[in-house]
Structure formats: structure tokens, C-alpha cells
Structure 1
Amino acid sequence: MSRTLAAILGGAAGAVALVGIVILIIWFCLSHNRSVSRTSETGSSDPSVQVGRNVGVELALREARHFEMAELSLATKNFSDISLIGEGKFGEVYKGLLHDGMFVAIKKRFGGPSQDFVDEVRYLSAIEHRNLVTLLGYCQENGQQFLIYEHIPSGSISSYLYGTAAQVSQEKLEFKNRLQIALGAAKGLAHLHTLSPRLVHKDFKTANVLVDENFIPKVADAGLRNFLGRIDIAGPSSQVVADEIFLAPEVREFRRFSDKSDVYSFGVFLLELLSGQEANTLLSPDSNLNLVEMVQNYQDHSNISTIIDQRLGNRFTAEGMEEFIQLIIRCVDTSSERRPSMSYVLMELDRILEKETTLTTLVGEGIPNVILGSQLFKASK
């Protein structure tokens, strides 16, 4: 009798323990789901839009810093004209010095308080990479919204290629240096595409590739279009028209942003690195083709070689340059399906840079069998 009772009690205890374990498992799953405040459902037809309360990311989300209006006003001398450094799609951009000695770039626009705005800042500020400009925090006060970024001191690559710093950039923009800049920017952009779900930049252009004091490239404004909602691609602004050259055909026609549309934009960026000119530059006064259209309609390499930045001289190998041009052609393909992924572009740039560095080092040591830029493509004719 006692044995039977013991067996019954033992079975009951086991059942209670099993139920307890099941309850613990259910509780853990529910609490874990609550802790992840963003899921992959965005409620948008564009899978790259990361706005709102429901975006799933494999990031340790941190609380984005909330800045006070008074602190930003003090940092920018009350948003004086002397602190104004530009204007973009989000609004005016000011340089500021915080009380802790940190320089920041502050984007300012009119807009009321919005939880979606805070959620998006929280998501984007959690993305950290050496080749991405960090979003530090935000402010919403007095009918205005502010985005606060780390300040990158040396400006954009566009200023060195064809802007205010173009006259002093020859040493900094040798072919190997341009490859290093392209590689760093590719690392930043490829990192966005590895997030889960992937983040599409949507506004990649040469002006958004900044360089720090060590000339390390950092991609700016990742995800900025997510703050803007539905905006017109074309408009009266000359800057908007200039930026349109970076948009893939499917974006201009159907507004289909994707990782492959980022690749197209990156290809236009590479073309500007190659030519030292804005990509919408016409080939000649009598031509209707711009640089991108020329590459897309190329007939032979000898034509493309005419758009290589003359400041490069012959300080590159024909092999490296030809492979670089081939990569550009693939990136700006009008078909998104034929474009490579950013991971492939990154791998190719790394390979081209390594080979170019090795071959030009050999040339410097007196090895005679490397074709220099002055003989570009002549050997293949």
C-alpha cells in the first residue's frame, strides 16, 4: 500500500514539475518577444523601410540619446549662419560643439513630435561601423525635429573630385587611394545589407561619402529617406536633379528601392572616382550622352579610357584600371538582376586594390613587365 502511495505521489510530483517547466518556457518566450520591440512587419510595400514600431533587426538596440533644445542651441550659437554648413533633404545642417567638447553635425527641420521618428532614430543609432557615420541621437521640441550625427571634419569625396578641394587633392587621390576610398565605402554599404532585415541606403551618392582626418571614408545618411516618407524624386531643386543620376532605372520609374539599387548608385560613385567629374556631365557639347550612359553603351575600352581623370597621369596599371572599369559597367547595368551584390563588389575592390598595390610596388622596384597607365589598353588592340 505504501509503495503504491509513493508511486502515486512520485508521479504527481513529476507531473507538477513538468507543468512548471512548460510554464517557464512559455513565460521566457513571451518575455523575449516583448523585449524585441521591432519585428519584420513594416506595413509597407517597400521591404527596406525600417520606420515604425515593428522592425526586426539583429542589433542590440540601445536608447538613442535625447538632446535638449537648449544644448543644441548653445552648441550652434543659436543656429547662427556661421554654424550652417549645408542643406540636404532632411533640412538645414549645422556644425556644433557640445559642452563635452565633441563636434557634431545637426540636421534640423520642422516637424511635430512623432514616436515613429524616435523609433527610427533608435534603430539607426544602433548601427555602428567604422565606415558609417554614426547617428548619435535626436531632439523634438518647439515644432522642430533634429538629428545629431558625429561630425566628419574633412568633408565629402565630391569636394576633392570636383568641388572646393579639387585643386589640392592630387596626392590624396592617386588611383590606389581612390580604390581604398571605394573599398571603405563598399564596406559601409555592404554592412547595411547584412542587417536582418537588410537596410537599403536609398540615397547613396558621392556627396554622402565623407572622409575623416585620416582620409578614412564614412558613408553618411544611411536610412535618411525613411524619415522623409514619400518624396518626389524629381523637382525644381538643382540638387535633386543632380542627385537623380545616382538613382537606378527601377527607382526612377517604379520607386523600387532595393540592395541592387544601392549597387547601381555605388557604380555611379565609382564612375565619379574614375573620371573626377560629376556623372551627369555630357561627353561633349554636341553629345546627348552623360558619363553613365556612355558606360552603359560602351563599344570598346578605348572610348572609356578617354574619361579617366587626367590627374591620375599614368600612375596606375592598365590591368587594374581595366578591371575597375569592368566592375563599374556591371554595377550600372540597367537590369537589377544582372548587377552584382555589394558583397561581390567589396570582394572585387579588395582584390583589385591588392593586385594594384603589388604590381605598382614591383614597378617601383624596377620590374619592367607591368603595363602602366600610359599604355592603357594598347596591348589589347
Structure 2
Amino acid sequence: MSRTLAAIVGGAAGVVVLVGLVIFLIWFCLSHKKSVSRTSETGSSDQSVQEGRHVGIELSLREARPFGMEELSLATKNFSDKNLIGVGKFGDVYKGLLNEGMLVAIKKRPGAPSQEFVDEARYLSPIQHRNLVTLLGYCQENFLQFLVYEYIPNGSVSNHLYGAGQFSDGKLEFKHRLAIALGAAKGLAHLHSLSPRLVHKDFKTANVLVDENFVAKVADAGLRNFLGGVDIAGPSRVTPDEIFLAPEVREFRRFSEKSDVFSFGVFLLELLCGQEATTSPSPDPGDNLVDWVQNTQDYSIFSRIIDQRLGNSFTAEGMEEFIQLMVRCVEPSSERRPAMSYVVMELDRILEKEMSLTTVMGEQTPTVTLGSQLFRATK
């Protein structure tokens, strides 16, 4: 009798342990699946990421690294002017070489220590994607604040299009511009797919960098969260940065995924024209390219603003579809703009078709309508 009772008790205990083990495994799988939602399969091999953004949150295996000021000073040779590579809204930007041999870009500004600064850096750092510049870590010492990013060697798309570092032959072929646009779109779309969603808030051509293989990487995602409010000069002629702001941002300071789409549309416009969107396409100096696009109904006259350096390296169909997508992105009404996921799909389709039509396959060249024949001239 006692043996039977012991067997029953032992069996019941085993069932309890087994049920507990199954429940634990289910919980672990669900938690693991949720945690990887902040990291793209094309970005990092890290599989666990931060779920929150406030004090007391559970940090990921890919935490923001706290740097010491001595280490950053050594990496930049005491913040030498020779290592100064730019000045942005956050402050001076220096190129640095860490002890382990990694090249980094270090943003530096005056600032009192704050927990909010640390929390924001910890929130942004785990966000990984092939088309995003990774925030590696931060530092707060001596009333100075630093953000440390991976270094992207080929600089910004704006420099390549119309800046001091533009190509010696003066052009990026249309296929290259499409590939850069697609990469940048994927980076933005990833931000919008996060939970909670992250709006870039400061997307512009100068914040799209290209690496040694000319893979586009979106920089400064979420950086505006460190900066506070939006400063807009007023009713006078817009600045190169303000031209990227959607109407609802200028009027109501209302950021959203759709305001990022508007900024992306201005980026597409600059890729199309090869110049800043603040440029006037007409004798009226108060005009700019964005206003011109929004007020132009006849697509046939868009040939006037296409970058002449492109020559005839594109098909009429591909260029037309690119322009149509750009026009949709810069719609004054946010409701009429597409989502970034749709923009990615369209750019991918246009690029694939453009590659197949403008690439010589063996000895046969497809018969296509090239850019020199784009649109019929209107009288």
C-alpha cells in the first residue's frame, strides 16, 4: 500500500515538474521572439534587445557602452582639429580610433549630466540594421556629453551630390542613386516597424551616409530626442534643413512616420536634381524645388529639373515611376503619403527593372527608351 502511494505521489510530482518545464519553455520562446523585434535580420547577430526606454528597464546583450572621457580624448588625440570632421546639431563631430582598433565618430557638446541622456542612449543603441548607423555608446564627464557612433568612411550623400566631396566625374548613375534610395528607405522602414515605433524626425540627405561599398546608412535616428524642440526660422526663405520638414511639423510641431515620408520625398528630389531642394527652379528667388514639384501637374516638364550629369543612363519608364513615387511622398497632406514599407517595395521594383533593362546581357542589349528620350517636349 505504501509503495503504491509513493508511486502515485512520485508520478504526480513528475507531472507537476513537467508542466512547469513546458510553461517555462513557452514563456522563454515568447519573450525571446518579442525581444528580437528591435533588430533586423540584416543588421546584427545580437538576438536580445532592450524593450523599454526608462530607468529600471531590462537591458539587452547589446547595451550602450559607457565610455570614459580619457578614452575618447586618447582616440581623438585630445580632440585635435585634425580629427574634426564636421559640426552638427548635437555639436562637433570627431573621427576617433579606439584602443581595440575600431574607427568611430564622436559627437561632443556641453551638457550637465542627466539620467535622461543615459536612458535615451540606452534606448537607441540596441536598434541594429544594415542601413542604420549604430550608436555604440555615450559619455558624460566634466559637463560634457558625448555620443559614439560607428564610423562610415564615404561620408554623406549630400557631399557626393553637391558638396565638396562630390565625384570627380561629377555624377552618380541613376542605378546607384536608386540603390542608395532603397537602402535609406529600408533603414527608415525598420525604425517605423519597431515597437514602440521610432520616428527619425531629422531625416535629410546629409544624414544618409555611404560605406566603402556605397551601402546607404541612415544616421542620427532619434538624435532630435536629445535636442528638445524644433526651431524654425519663420516665414522667410527656408533653410536647407527646414526644407525637409513636413507642413504639419512646421505648423504644429507634429512628427509622425508620415512626416519622415515627406522628408524622404525631399531626399528623392535631391537625388533626382543633384542639388539642394532649396534651389529655385524659376526666376522667382522665393521659389524652391519642393514648392515647384507640389504645384506641377504636367509630368512632361519634370525633365527640366533632372540632373544633367545622369546623361541617358536610365530608362524613361524607370525615371517616370521614380518621379511619381517622389511626388506622392511630398504630398502636403500626410494622409495621402504612402507608408515607408510601400516606398521600399516600389523602389525595389523600380531598381530591379532598371537593372535588367540597362545592363547588357551577353551580346544582346535590350531595346529601351533611354533618358535622352524622356518625355516629349511641350510647347
TM over 0.5: yes
- Alignment map for 1:203-282 (pairs within 5 Å): 203-229=202-228, 231-235=229-233, 241-282=239-280
Kept after mapping to 2: 8 A contact 1:51/1:116? no
Aligned to 1:86: 86
Aligned to 2:46: none
Aligned to 1:289: 287
CA positional deviation for 1:377? 1.3
CA distance in structure 1 between the partners assigned to 2:261 and 2:308 by the alignment:
26
Could you say what secondary structure the match of 2:154 adopts? coil
Aligned to 1:136: 136
Kept after mapping to 2: 8 A contact 1:282/1:289? yes
Amino acid at match of 1:53: V
Is 1:145 the counterpart of 2:156? The answer is no
Identity value in percent = 70
Kept after mapping to 2: 8 A contact 1:155/1:212? yes
Amino acid at match of 1:323: E
Could you say what secondary structure the match of 1:168 adopts? coil
CA distance in structure 2 between the partners assigned to 1:79 and 1:349 by the alignment:
41
CA positional deviation for 1:69? 0.7
CA positional deviation for 1:109? 1.2
Aligned to 1:43: none
Kindly tell me the number of residue pairs found equivalent between the two proteins: 359
Kept after mapping to 2: 8 A contact 1:275/1:309? yes
CA positional deviation for 1:289? 2.5
CA positional deviation for 1:54? 7.8
Aligned to 1:175: 174
Aligned to 1:72: 72
Could you say what secondary structure the match of 1:242 adopts? coil
Q: Encode CA deviations 1:315-367: one digit per residue, 9 max, x unaligned.
A: 11000000000000010111111111111100100000010111112599554
Amino acid at match of 2:147: L
Is 1:52 the counterpart of 2:50? The answer is no
User: Which of 335, 339, 343 is the matching residue for 1:345?
Assistant: 343
- Alignment map for 1:280-319 (pairs within 5 Å): 280-286=278-284, 288-319=286-317
In structure 2, runs of 5+ residues without a counterpart are: 36-51
In structure 1, runs of 5+ residues without a counterpart are: 38-49
Could you say what secondary structure the match of 1:378 adopts? coil
Aligned to 2:63: 63
Could you say what secondary structure the match of 2:241 adopts? helix
CA positional deviation for 1:202? 0.7
Kept after mapping to 2: 8 A contact 1:62/1:122? no
The alignment's TM-score, normalised by the length of structure 2, stands at 0.83
Higher alpha-carbon deviation: 88-97 or 348-357: 88-97
CA distance in structure 1 between the partners assigned to 2:73 and 2:102 by the alignment:
15
CA positional deviation for 1:287? 5.2
Kept after mapping to 2: 8 A contact 1:61/1:122? no
Could you say what secondary structure the match of 1:201 adopts? coil
Kept after mapping to 2: 8 A contact 1:85/1:95? yes
Aligned to 1:190: 189
Distance 1:72 1:89, change over 3 A: same
CA distance in structure 2 between the partners assigned to 1:167 and 1:74 by the alignment:
33
CA positional deviation for 1:184? 0.9
Kept after mapping to 2: 8 A contact 1:61/1:123? no
Cα RMSD (Å) = 3.5
Distance 1:191 1:142, change over 3 A: same
